[in-house]
């Protein structure tokens, strides 16, 4: 898993290796689903594997165990699917027009282990045998672990790869498993060995040939879960273990479809993602995978519980983006879950909370995130396919149009009575206020080259993207009632007030995304989307 600095999505506090490469097709975790998932959610990024936390002692970079990071690799029916980053396993499913899910999770590769093997350092096994006799643990306890290890080794030994590359990788995994089994026999409380052995089992499950009936992928994942359970019992602060454990559970859940058993497994996965985030809050990948697991759970639970779970998923994707503004998988997945919420609301004839907007507003919000993900990664076919489905839902030729309460131009701290609720437009060039005449006849461009904007520059608030320093929510008694928004620029701060905190979230995300796209040198791609 290459840790490209370019894809800052890798920045997991865990030091996860991110497997998302520029081409969405690399890496076992990538789902190649272009489809668009049920719920009308655009298909998630099939290419991305969620960055996974790495093993503590082994650096797996050659053997990649996919996780549930967005672990929901499986594309959903083609509506818009979220991108599961977790596995690479079921990455091929492309179905109806739903938005696919972004995959983001997986286990790591054992770089260290591979290097040792290549350097002929396999003599650790013989050293381990010599140390077994000196184990401080009782003979009965040691024998019990030997028996358990033998059963687990039988599972691993029976795995055969689908091709020569898979068989070669499995030989490395088998060698690693013997090392960890030996370490645990010497010291049953070696949580590092337990954790790394779990990773080997998880990777071996991914290496099971599709035609193979023995052993089952599920058996290997179940055994991996037991090792993670034991490792976290011995070391409750092992956040990487909770993260990869959640991915393994998610993979087991995906094998069970939309059943009661799958529902319980998804609930377990969300709890482990929660623990991983509590132990390591600076992990956008874990938050993204958590959102994906919640999204999968929402498709199984009774209808009365669905909306609450979906809203929680939205909050996790949004939190991931706030940690890493260019985390395109989470951006895309947020778009898919909003699309699904709009679809459900339209289908049932129900209405969402007035503060959250109408179904049309949800569709428009969904399109903003999908367009942003595509602008950041224009070569990802999943994003391109989803964009075709939702582009017409944007307020073209703009990215976003809505109302904000603003002071008089040039007087940021004005009496509340002087603040007026007016329409604003956002595109690849910046945020601009419209006066009453312009609201009836909006200009086609925010460019200063346009004759229509000459008057706007004198009488309306205008923030150019290159001038932005930061964008944040703010609460201040000098502002009128509502959700405060502060855009700090090189010319000074601009204060605005959104109609609600829900509306503010949409404005914050949209402005930050436009700036991030500009900072990544992709403004021309966004311009093509909204003006082309």
Q: Which of 43-57, 297-311, 349-363, 386-400 has the lowest mean pLDDT?
A: 43-57
Please enumerate in sequence order all residues whose Cβ is within 8 A of that of 130, keeping only pairs 6 or more positions apart, or say none.
Answer: none
Q: Is the pLDDT of residue 206 over 80?
A: yes
Measured in whole angstroms, the distance separating CA 265 from the mean position of its chain's CA atoms is 19
User: Cβ–Cβ contacts within 10 Å for residue 452, how many?
Assistant: 14
pLDDT band at 24 (very low <50, low <70, confident <90, very high): very low
Q: Is the pLDDT of residue 64 over 80?
A: no
Cβ-based burial of 111 (10 A; exposed 0-12, middle 13-18, buried ≥19):
middle
- The pLDDT of residue 353 is 60
Q: Is the pLDDT of residue 518 over 80?
A: yes
Please enumerate in sequence order all residues whose Cβ is within 8 A of that of 126, keeping only pairs 6 or more positions apart, or say none.
Answer: none
Please give the full DSSP string across 402-462, using - where no structure is assigned. Answer: EEEEE--TT-SS--GGG-EEEEEEE-SSEEEE--HHHHHS--S---TTSGGGHHHHHHS-E
pLDDT band at 237 (very low <50, low <70, confident <90, very high): very high
- The pLDDT of residue 79 is 53
> Is the model more confident about 101 or about 516?
516
pLDDT digits (tens, 9 = 90+) for 132-172: 445 455 555 555 556 566 677 777 777 776 677 778 888 88
Among 479, 485, 477, residue whose Cα is nearest residue 502: 485
- The pLDDT of residue 442 is 53
- The pLDDT of residue 50 is 35
- The pLDDT of residue 165 is 78
Q: Which residues pair with 493 in a beta bridge?
A: 488
CA–CA separation, 337 and 390 (whole Å): 13
* DSSP 8-state assignment for residue 122: T
- The pLDDT of residue 394 is 97
pLDDT digits (tens, 9 = 90+) for 497-506: 999 999 999 9
- Mean pLDDT (the chain, rounded): 76
- The pLDDT of residue 167 is 80
Homologous superfamily of 111-130+137-393 in CATH?
Answer: Tetratricopeptide repeat domain (1.25.40.10)
CA–CA separation, 473 and 124 (whole Å): 56
CA–CA separation, 168 and 286 (whole Å): 30
Phi, psi at 65, each rounded to 5°: -100, 125
- The pLDDT of residue 150 is 67
User: Cβ–Cβ contacts within 10 Å for residue 457, how many?
Assistant: 11
Measured in whole angstroms, the distance separating CA 175 from the mean position of its chain's CA atoms is 32
> Is the model more confident about 42 or about 341?
341
Q: Looking at residues 192-214, what average pLDDT do you find?
A: 84
- The pLDDT of residue 35 is 35
CA–CA separation, 123 and 493 (whole Å): 64
For the record, the structure tokens of 351 come out as 């209405």
Q: Is the pLDDT of residue 177 over 90?
A: no
- The pLDDT of residue 248 is 97
**Domain range annotation of the chain:** 111-130+137-393, 400-531
Q: Give counts: helices (H), strands (E), the chain.
A: 17, 9
- The pLDDT of residue 85 is 53
CA–CA separation, 378 and 375 (whole Å): 5
For the record, the structure tokens of 153 come out as 């080794």
> Is the model more confident about 464 or about 435?
464
- The pLDDT of residue 147 is 55
Please enumerate in sequence order all residues whose Cβ is within 8 A of that of 5, keeping only pairs 6 or more positions apart, or say none.
Answer: none
pLDDT digits (tens, 9 = 90+) for 251-309: 999 999 999 999 999 999 999 999 999 999 999 999 999 999 999 999 999 988 999 99
Q: Is the pLDDT of residue 192 over 70?
A: yes
Q: Is the bond preceding 134 in cis, omega lying within 30 degrees of 0?
A: no
Selection from 183-197, 274-288, 399-413 with the highest mean pLDDT: 274-288
> Is the model more confident about 235 or about 62?
235
Q: Which of 53-57, 127-131, 460-464 has the lowest mean pLDDT?
A: 53-57
Q: Are 336 and 367 in contact (CB under 8 A)?
A: no
C-alpha Rg value of the chain to the nearest Å: 25
Q: Are 202 and 107 in contact (CB under 8 A)?
A: yes
Among 511, 82, 484, 89, residue whose Cα is nearest residue 317: 82
- 400-531 has which fold? PH-domain like (2.30.29)
Among 71, 63, 55, residue whose Cα is nearest residue 238: 55
For the record, the structure tokens of 452 come out as 């229509």
Q: Is the pLDDT of residue 96 over 60?
A: no
Among 294, 367, 369, 280, residue whose Cα is nearest residue 329: 369
Does the pTM of the predicted model rise above 0.85? no
User: Cβ–Cβ contacts within 10 Å for residue 26, how many?
Assistant: 17
Q: Looking at residues 241-246, what average pLDDT do you find?
A: 98
Q: Which residues pair with 433 in a beta bridge?
A: 424
Q: Looking at residues 182-207, what average pLDDT do you find?
A: 91
Q: Is the pLDDT of residue 69 over 60?
A: no
> Is the model more confident about 11 or about 512?
512
pLDDT digits (tens, 9 = 90+) for 410-450: 777 778 888 999 999 999 999 999 876 555 555 444 444 44
Q: Are 43 and 382 in contact (CB under 8 A)?
A: yes
- The pLDDT of residue 301 is 94
């Amino acid at each position: 898993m290459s840790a490209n600095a370019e894809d800052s999505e890798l920045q997991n506090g865990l030091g996860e290796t991110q497997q998302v490469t520029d081409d969405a097709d690399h890496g076992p975790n990538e789902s190649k689903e272009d489809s668009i998932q049920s719920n009308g959610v655009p298909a998630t990024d099939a290419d991305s594997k969620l960055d996974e936390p790495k093993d503590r002692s082994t650096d797996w970079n050659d053997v990649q165990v996919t996780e549930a990071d967005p672990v929901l690799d499986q594309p959903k029916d083609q509506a818009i699917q979220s991108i599961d980053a977790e596995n690479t396993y079921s990455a091929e499913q492309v179905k109806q027009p739903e938005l696919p899910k972004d995959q983001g999770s997986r286990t790591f590769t054992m770089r260290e282990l591979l290097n040792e093997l290549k350097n002929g350092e396999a003599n650790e096994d013989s050293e381990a045998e010599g140390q077994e006799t000196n184990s401080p643990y009782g003979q009965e306890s040691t024998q019990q672990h030997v028996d358990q290890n033998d059963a687990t080794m039988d599972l691993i030994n029976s795995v055969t790869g689908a091709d020569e590359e898979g068989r070669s990788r499995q030989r490395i995994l088998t060698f690693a498993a013997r090392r960890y089994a030996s370490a645990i026999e010497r010291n049953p409380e070696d949580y590092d060995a337990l954790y790394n052995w779990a990773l080997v089992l998880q990777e071996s499950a991914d290496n099971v040939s599709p035609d193979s009936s023995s052993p089952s992928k599920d058996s290997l994942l179940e055994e991996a879960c037991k090792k993670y359970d034991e490792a976290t019992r011995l070391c409750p602060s092992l956040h990487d273990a909770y993260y990869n454990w959640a991915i393994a559970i998610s993979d087991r859940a995906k094998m069970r479809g939309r059943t009661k058993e799958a529902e319980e497994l998804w609930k377990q996965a969300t709890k482990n993602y929660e623990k991983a985030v509590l132990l390591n809050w600076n992990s956008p990948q874990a938050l993204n995978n958590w959102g994906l697991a919640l999204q999968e759970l929402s498709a199984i639970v009774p209808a009365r519980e669905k909306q609450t779970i979906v809203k929680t998923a939205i909050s996790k994707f949004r939190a991931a983006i706030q940690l890493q503004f260019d985390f395109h998988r989470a951006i895309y997945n947020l778009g898919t879950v909003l699309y699904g919420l709009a679809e459900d609301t339209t289908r049932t004839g129900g209405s969402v909370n007035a503060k959250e907007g109408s179904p049309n507003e949800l569709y428009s919000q969904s399109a903003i995130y999908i367009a942003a993900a595509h602008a950041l990664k224009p070569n990802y076919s999943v994003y391109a396919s989803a964009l075709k489905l939702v582009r017409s839902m944007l307020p073209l030729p703009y990215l976003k149009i809505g109302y904000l309460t603003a002071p008089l131009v040039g007087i940021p701290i004005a009496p509340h009575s002087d603040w007026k609720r007016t329409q604003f437009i956002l595109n690849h060039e910046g945020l601009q206020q419209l006066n009453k005449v312009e609201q009836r006849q909006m200009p086609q461009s925010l460019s200063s080259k346009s004759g229509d904007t000459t008057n706007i520059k004198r009488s309306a608030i205008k923030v150019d993207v290159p001038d932005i320093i930061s964008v944040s929510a703010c609460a201040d008694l000098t502002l009128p009632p509502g959700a405060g928004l502060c855009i700090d620029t090189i010319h000074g701060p601009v204060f605005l007030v959104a109609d609600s905190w829900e509306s503010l979230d949409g404005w914050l995300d949209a402005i930050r995304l436009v700036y991030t796209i500009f900072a990544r040198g992709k403004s021309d791609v966004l311009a093509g989307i909204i003006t082309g």
